[in-house]
Chain A
Amino acid sequence: SQQGEEDPQALSIQEGENATMNCSYKTSINNLQWYRQNSGRGLVHLILIRSNEREKHSGRLRVTLDTSKKSSSLLITASRAADTASYFCATDATGANSKLTFGKGITLSVRP
């Protein structure tokens, strides 16, 4: 069953602009994670935010979590062409024994 739903499905921006991607989920979670996937490759973990955290930063990435709205956002600042990829949110639901449920992903295109 799909828990995380990303929005928008696709995003195209100019290099240097910020990219904001959103994720909504349905049940209580231990944490929410964001992953990136370059075309035809495996997923790479970007950042994990725990249910008791509201905001987290890692380099040009900023993640927020609002458990009351069951939503998260991923902000990539000063985007680069190399950020072009698909981005997935994944939730580690309470009691799920480390299993993650992934959304369908957002395709980000950064134009040089």
Chain B
Amino acid sequence: DVKVTQSSRYLVKRTGEKVFLECVQDMDHENMFWYRQDPGLGLRLIYFSYDVKMKEKGDIPEGYSVSREKKERFSLILESASTNQTSMYLCASNAQGVQYEQYFGPGTRLTVT
């Protein structure tokens, strides 16, 4: 079974802090994704990576950066957290190519105060 894990289920940070969200997958997937989910807005893609050290911006990359130093790990970084980044963050992975479903982690609910 594919397993995608996220470092925290719940996180509370203060405005201006640097925040790291970690995601690890154990199925040797090439692609990894970071989404945020907000009520009424569904899932929106922040960044994705299709290979180690490769990244592409999604629909809402502003205020975020990512790092992929190893194939199994994809980190989302909030350089200076703001209250409007309070959200549920979901990581996903899938194999390269079309026609493959994404596997999701359990999510991290981040609150920025």
Q: What residues of chain A have their CB less than 8 Å away from a CB belonging to chain B?
A: 1-2, 30-31, 33, 35, 40-45, 48, 50, 88, 90, 92, 97-105
* Alpha-carbon separation in the docked complex, A44 to B31 (Å): 17
* Alpha-carbon separation in the docked complex, A61 to B99 (Å): 19
Q: Which secondary structure dominates chain B's binding surface?
A: strand
* Alpha-carbon separation in the docked complex, A98 to B29 (Å): 12
A97 CB contact (under 8 Å) in B41, B50, B102, B109: B50
* Alpha-carbon separation in the docked complex, A18 to B83 (Å): 41
B42 touches A44 (CB 8 A): no
B104 touches A92 (CB 8 A): no
A30-B45 contact, Cβ under 8 Å, with A40-B107, A42-B90: no
B46 to chain A, nearest CB (A): 12
Query: Nearest A residue to B40 by beta-carbon distance?
Result: A104
A102 touches B100 (CB 8 A): no
Counting chain B CB atoms within 10 Å of each CB, the highest count among A1, A30, A43, A103 belongs to A43
B107 touches A41 (CB 8 A): yes
Interface string of B31-46 (1 = CB under 8 A from A): 1010100001111110
B43 touches A88 (CB 8 A): yes
Residues of B within 8 A of A44 (CB): 104
B56 to chain A, nearest CB (A): 8
Residues of B within 8 A of A102 (CB): 35, 42-44
B106 touches A41 (CB 8 A): yes
Query: Nearest B residue to A97 by beta-carbon distance?
Result: B50
Interface string of B82-112 (1 = CB under 8 A from A): 0000001010101011111111111101000
A48 touches B42 (CB 8 A): no
A88 touches B106 (CB 8 A): no
B48 CB contact (under 8 Å) in A31, A48, A99, A101: A99
Query: Nearest A residue to B2 by beta-carbon distance?
Result: A45
Question: Can you identify 17 A-B contacts, CB atoms within 8 angstroms?
Answer: A30-B98, A30-B99, A40-B88, A40-B109, A41-B107, A42-B104, A42-B107, A43-B90, A44-B104, A45-B102, A48-B99, A48-B101, A50-B99, A98-B50, A99-B45, A100-B102, A105-B42
